[in-house]
A and B are shown apart, each in its own frame.
Chain A
Amino acid sequence: TQLLEQSPQFLSIQEGENLTVYCNSSSVFSSLQWYRQEPGEGPVLLVTVVTGGEVKKLKRLTFQFGDARKDSSLHITAAQPGDTGLYLCAGVANSGYALNFGKGTSLLVTP
């Protein structure tokens, strides 16, 4: 059973476009995290959202945690080729300790 479902699985866009990646679950999470992974490297933490309804901004990236703490979204404004990578959402269910990861969204931004 996959706790976290990410969509879309793949996304190919041109530089300058906007995009949104979704992370959904039927479980409640104490927090959700977003990571970006580049080829040949480990995932790197972008942000942690903790409070239901919370919105966090990191330059052109906007992260939102759902009111019920079951879902999250990542919006990128004016995407750049440097944004290319695998975006992973991860969360700790209320009864657990280790992070459970979604299957990721592979983003390609072409010039």
Chain B
Amino acid sequence: DTAVSQTPKYLVTQMGNDKSIKCEQNLGHDTMYWYKQDSKKFLKIMFSYNNKELIINETVPNRFSPKSPDKAHLNLHINSLELGDSAVYFCASSPTYRADGGYTFGSGTRLTVV
């Protein structure tokens, strides 16, 4: 059983489109995250939810909107996609909001905007 699963694995879309990425964890963790990994492999935090509540909202364009229907799911919706949004997006979870316990990552969604 996959602990943190993201769909889709690959997403190719045109500029201006709206797309969503889904994430689910079956670890019973309280906290979930979205990270963006750029072409130089740098991982940057975007959002974090703890028990369905937004606790971290980094400087991200408001075209990005996370949604957490329950603590096992964290989805990411992106409006009006731009070329610069091309990256690998990772979902992760941790037992509590204190990240000291370590993260479990999904396998990533490679988004390509053309």
Contact = CB atoms under 8 A, between A and B. Distances in A.
Q: Determine the main DSSP class of A at the interface with B.
A: strand
Chain B: interface residue count, which band?
A: 20 to 34
Contacts of B83: none
A101 interface: yes
Contacts of A86: 41
A50 B105 CA distance: 21
A50 B101 CA distance: 10
Contacts of B43: 43, 88, 90, 101
A50 to B, nearest CB: 7
Interface in B64-113: 90, 92, 97-108
B55 interface: yes
A109 interface: no
Interface of A: 30-31, 33, 37, 40-45, 48, 50, 86, 88, 90, 92, 97-101, 103-104, 106
Nearest to A31: B100
B107 A42 contact: yes
A86 B103 CA distance: 16
Contacts of B105: 42-44
Contacts of B45: 98-100
A31 B103 CA distance: 13
Nearest to A30: B100
Contact of B48 (A33, A42, A48, A98): A98
A18 B107 CA distance: 29
Contacts of A44: 105
Nearest to A104: B41
Contact of B56 (A45, A97, A101, A104): A97
Given A40-B108, A97-B55, A97-B97, A104 B102 contact: no
B31 to A, nearest CB: 9
Nearest to B33: A98
A37 B48 CA distance: 21
A99 B42 contact: no
Given A45-B104, A90-B43, 14 more contacts: A30-B100, A42-B4, A42-B105, A42-B106, A42-B108, A43-B103, A44-B105, A45-B102, A86-B41, A88-B43, A92-B100, A97-B48, A98-B56, A98-B99
